[in-house]
Structure 1
Amino acid sequence: METVNPHYEKIGGEPGVRKLVEVFYHIMDTHPMATGIRQLHPENLDSSKEKLFMFLSGWLGGPPLYIEAYGHPRLRQRHLPFPIGDAERDQWMECMREALRQCDLDEELRQQLTDSFSKTADFLRNQE
């Protein structure tokens, strides 16, 4: 029986999700185009990395680690304290697109994930 969201297995399970999160935050932490989005994060990214890993695990169809630890993600509500406009959305997406490229995923999966991330990132905007 196929899972509802097979992306977790296609990305490589836990190791694949961890790699995506590590690459994503490395890009965000080092690339000049990501300065704005980086400033919205704490200096130490360990907690951010772990929460994104936990969220993505369930979001991609794997174990619902974030929900088990924190309850429903309520993404929009949890991001309201941070000013997220077009620039921040676009910087986040550029980091994620590059992370997906660096993780060497097949083109179809990369495009599916990019489309899904794009919808979610757009939904989180809370500034004009």
Structure 2
Amino acid sequence: MYDVTPVEKGAPVHFKMPDPAFYEALGYEGMKDLMYRFYDEIYESSIANFFPQDEEEFEKVKERNARFFIQLCGGPNVHIESEGKDLNEYMIRLHDEFSIYEKSRYEWLGCMETVLRETDIPQELKENFWKYLEAFSKLTVNSFTDGSHFYAAYTQAVQDN
């Protein structure tokens, strides 16, 4: 099992971008396959309601988010060319319109854990990618069980070298 640490409301989130070796190990089509399998897991999960239920619209989400992760992991600039937005800011702002609790974050990470376990690349590359996702996903949590809300400011994201 991959480690998951809790969100601390208002605390800065430190993260490192994924090692480009992750993309190199999978290649463009492998990354696309990984992300499509991930979103297929999402579609069957308890957080499916965050995504369009129309199959054609959901396919567009899969395509757009696959481009995001391909570029994020060191692939070609396919996301910025189609969306024209900074990768990390896009990831945070995309979630502002939803009330995302820690439980939803755990479900999202669980879907990714499932597909990573099924992916045939070295474990250290999967763990490196996981560390990025685990840390950065904290920035999407904006609602808390105490009834409070906190919308992560982009400045909370601290990219370490």
- In the aligned structure 2, how far is the partner of 1:66 from the partner of 1:121? 19
User: Match for 1:39 among 37, 44, 49?
Assistant: 49
SS in 2 for 1:39: helix
Check conservation: 2:21, 2:125, Cα contact below 8 A: no
Map 1:1-128 onto structure 2 (within 5 A): 5-10=20-25, 12-30=26-44, 34-35=45-46, 37-43=47-53, 44=55, 45-71=58-84, 72-73=86-87, 74=89, 75-128=91-144
Provide TM-score, normalisation by structure 2: 0.70
- In the aligned structure 1, how far is the partner of 2:131 from the partner of 2:94? 22
Structure with bigger helix share is 1
Q: Give the CA deviation at 1:47.
A: 1.2
- In the aligned structure 2, how far is the partner of 1:125 from the partner of 1:14? 29
Extract unaligned runs of 5+ from structure 1.
Answer: none
2:158 is matched with none
CA displacement 1:43-89 (0-9 Å, x = unmatched): 12201101111101110001121111112232211210011110110
- In the aligned structure 1, how far is the partner of 2:21 from the partner of 2:100? 30
RMSD across aligned positions (CA): 1.4
- In the aligned structure 2, how far is the partner of 1:85 from the partner of 1:17? 27
Check conservation: 2:50, 2:98, Cα contact below 8 A: yes
- Identical-residue share of aligned pairs (%): 26
Q: Which has the higher contact order (CA 8 A, sep 6+)?
A: 2
